[in-house]
Amino acid sequence: MPPALADRVLYGDALTVLRTFPSGIAQTCVCSPPYWSLKDYGTRSWIGGAAECGHEAHAIEQPSVWRGGDGNPVPSRSCSRCAAWFGEIGMEPTVEAYIRHLVAAFAEVQRVVRDTGTLWVVMGDAYNAYGNRSPSQGLSAHGDASRPTWTAGGLTTPTVGNKSLMGLPWRLALALQDGGWILRNDCIWRKERHAPERVTDRFPRGHEYVFMFSKNDRYLFNADDGIARLDTVWTIPTESGRGGHPAPFPRQLAARCIRAGSRPGDLVLDCFAGSGTTLEVAKDLDRRFLGIELNKRYRAHIEARVGRAVARSYDRAAYDAMTDIAAEDEVRVDAASGPTAQAIFDLAMGGDLHDRPPPEP
């Protein structure tokens, strides 16, 4: 593996960045992709299609399906030549397009992981609903609105009944299975101490899926003492938002997947890094990490977290002595904490995380 790809975070669209990686460099991938219709991050780019196409010259406008945070329709465009789409994963106009984009990204992950590699995907579901996504109204496909509030869009998915659970995790799992991944487990993450749903005509949801896939039928599964005692129902507390991210990944959940899918020294990939939990936990477990994140809004927070993890891995005693400067249990991403955490990282690595040389071709 090129040394420049160890313990690094790259920023851009997951599919685009994954295509630049050599094959067979990661032992496992642990990630949670953006959930469909949940949040508009405002990080639109061209997804899919041919890289050399020049999509802007062939762009055509599509009907708006979602509303953004400002209440206005989110623009949607596609390339008439190669079918690329201008947007962000999770804000596709249809469920089918959402699944198709994730399948394309995970096909690249399948190439990037070793022959003994695994993929762990955490995913929640959504409900079909009337109206277009509007955070100001609290309406999305994750709600149960039974009457239209913006009739231009109608039902989120016309082919599924109003208020129907979409089955998104299983749609993705079966599509990945069709793409060559071997589905080994459908673990249930029972979310302890989660915010309850306010519903009166069904049971409130309290779980998400954690799918385990393998690249081949012979693969690494590290059944140590802690992992060997577990079954497929995991009761793990949720964690509050960090660095402004709306859906943080619990450290305990990330650690469980990383421990089962890799050994110390292995490279752990997260192609939807979010707040950086998988990367931080991988380093704390003596693995190397490689992350991809589209939204640069979380850059300072990600690099603060992984910076502390790298510093701990180099000199735990020295790091503990500095806890009055950067407290591990309370991370504030502001003008004071960001540079301090980055300075700790620089001491450990001898250079800035995003100033390292580019990956070798």
Whether 139 is covered by a domain: the verdict is no
361 residues of the chain, pLDDT tens digit each: 665 788 889 988 899 899 999 999 999 999 999 888 766 666 777 777 777 787 777 778 776 666 655 666 666 778 877 777 777 777 777 888 889 999 999 999 999 999 999 999 999 988 887 544 443 333 344 444 433 333 334 556 777 887 888 899 999 999 999 999 999 999 999 998 777 788 888 898 899 999 999 999 999 999 876 787 899 999 999 887 555 555 678 899 999 999 999 999 999 999 998 889 999 999 999 999 999 988 878 788 788 888 888 878 776 554 444 443 333 333 332 323 333 344 433 433 333 333 333 334 3
Compute how many other C-beta atoms are within 10 angstroms of the C-beta atom of residue 354: 13
What is the bridge-based pairing of β-strands 267-270 and 288-293? parallel
Residues 9 and 71 in one domain: no
CA distances from 248 to 73, 122, 235, 269, 336 (A): 27, 12, 16, 17, 22
Residues 82 and 95 in one domain: no
Residues 172 and 82 in one domain: no
Whether 340 is covered by a domain: the verdict is yes
Residues 204 and 301 in one domain: yes
Residues 232 and 325 in one domain: yes
Nearest to 289 by CA among 324, 250, 254, 317: 254
| Last residue within a domain, chosen from 87, 111, 140 | 87
Report how far Cα 167 is from the mean position of its chain's Cα atoms. Answer: 18
Residues 114 and 242 in one domain: yes
Whether 146 is covered by a domain: the verdict is no
Residues 79 and 215 in one domain: no
Token output for 12: 């851009």
What is the rounded distance in angstroms from the CA atom of residue 79 to the CA atom of residue 50? 10
Whether 161 is covered by a domain: the verdict is no
Compute how many other C-beta atoms are within 10 angstroms of the C-beta atom of residue 152: 12
Q: What is the pLDDT of residue 294?
A: 84
Compute how many other C-beta atoms are within 10 angstroms of the C-beta atom of residue 313: 17
Residues 73 and 101 in one domain: no
Q: What is the pLDDT of residue 246?
A: 56
Helix (H, G, I), strand (E, B) or coil at 282: helix
What is the rounded distance in angstroms from the CA atom of residue 132 to the CA atom of residue 149? 8
> What's the CATH code of the domain at 256?
3.40.50.150
Residues 117 and 77 in one domain: no
Where in the sequence is the domain holding 26, given as residue range(s)? 3-43+88-125+167-355
Domain count, the chain: 2
Residues 83 and 7 in one domain: no
Whether 155 is covered by a domain: the verdict is no
Quote the DSSP letter at residue 254.
Answer: H
What is the rounded distance in angstroms from the CA atom of residue 256 to the CA atom of residue 231? 12
Residues 55 and 198 in one domain: no
Whether 57 is covered by a domain: the verdict is yes
| Last residue within a domain, chosen from 87, 117, 151 | 87
Token output for 340: 């301090």
Q: What is the pLDDT of residue 290?
A: 94
Token output for 130: 């009337």
Q: What is the pLDDT of residue 28?
A: 98
Q: What is the pLDDT of residue 188?
A: 96
What is the rounded distance in angstroms from the CA atom of residue 86 to the CA atom of residue 92? 9
Nearest to 109 by CA among 200, 225, 31: 31
How many CA within 13 A on the CB side of residue 206? 14
What is the rounded distance in angstroms from the CA atom of residue 194 to the CA atom of residue 174? 28
Quote the DSSP letter at residue 189.
Answer: E
Q: What is the pLDDT of residue 105?
A: 95
Residues 11 and 79 in one domain: no
What is the rounded distance in angstroms from the CA atom of residue 118 to the CA atom of residue 342? 31
The size of the chain, in residues, is: 361
Whether 148 is covered by a domain: the verdict is no
Q: What is the pLDDT of residue 292?
A: 93
At how many degrees (to 10) do helices 277-284 and 251-261 cross?
60
| Contact between 221 and 197 (Cβ < 8 Å) | no
